[in-house]
Amino acid sequence: MPVDSVSIEGLSFAYQGNQVLRDITCDIRQGDYVGIVGHNGSGKSTLIRCILGLNRIEHGRISLLGVPQPAFTAWDRIGFLPQGLQLFNPNFPATVEEIVRLGRLSKKRFPRRFHVSDSEAVERALVLMGISSLGKRLIGELSGGLRQRALLARALVNEPEILILDEPTTALDPDTREHFYSTVRDLNVNRGTTILLVTHDASTIGLYASKLLYLDKRILFYGTFEEFCCSPNMTQVFGHHGQHLICRRH
């Protein structure tokens, strides 16, 4: 019987005395594509940081690929694309290949030397993202969309089973954003990669994700987009008109 990709039970988290997450319980199955949605300050990024072990958990439990998070060490099986494209230093002196190769460090112990197998993995990731011709270009020379594809290639260079994306389309124009979403959906459909994608845009992610998790410090909804569109809880949050606007593209 397959194990869940991510299992969360009774997770609560406070920062400087302020409750950020409250009693979060959910299971994310292998092959799910989950859009994590909510307004600013709802706890979306905090939840991701807890899953990745970047926030110390004091209440509740998280398991990753069947292993309790405190004992989990196979971080190369999880790819992560954080927020921050808009803060990227355009003068950073590294090529696209070098940026993607950094993703291989999670598989290495000291001394961290790169080998032919690493170069081959980098090339596969670049090909997958359609940017193999850009390997020698400086990362800062690329447009926002191409730069985000390079950073996604870094997250995918180990062929992870789980891919976690935190507001990955914030600084992208609409056409590039749609292309990015399509790329991630293809990874989910064709490779079976489990996707967790944080966004504030419930309407757009509903076109691609198999499930939505609506968060406001606690889980207000977790299910399919079709269920979201007829959920009384979501009607209370958005009102009938707001819920219709989100769901009208479907």
Q: In the predicted model, is pLDDT for residue 246 greater than 90? A: no
CA angle 109, 112, 115 (to 5 degrees): 115
Residue-level length of the chain: 250
Q: Which of 81-90, 140-149, 192-201 has the lowest mean pLDDT?
A: 81-90
For residue 114, the tally of other CB atoms under 10 A from its CB is 14
For residue 200, the tally of other CB atoms under 10 A from its CB is 15
Instruction: Specify the residue for token string 């691609």.
Output: 208
Residue 234, Cβ density class (10 Å: 0-12 exposed, 13-18 middle, ≥19 buried):
buried
Q: Indicate the pLDDT class of residue 88, thresholds 50, 70 and 90.
A: low
pLDDT of residue 136: 94
Helices (H), 80-231: 96-101, 116-128, 144-156, 174-191, 202-205, 225-229
- Reported as a single tens digit per residue, the pLDDT across 107-153 is 766 667 788 888 999 999 999 888 999 999 998 888 888 888 899 99
Read off φ and ψ for residue 186, nearest 5 degrees: -65, -40
In order of start, what are the domains of the chain with their CATH numbers?
A: 6-247 (3.40.50.300)
27: tokens are 């299971």
pTM of the model: 0.90
Q: In the predicted model, is pLDDT for residue 95 greater than 80? A: yes
- Reported as a single tens digit per residue, the pLDDT across 35-67 is 999 988 999 999 999 999 999 888 999 999 999
Residue type, 201: D
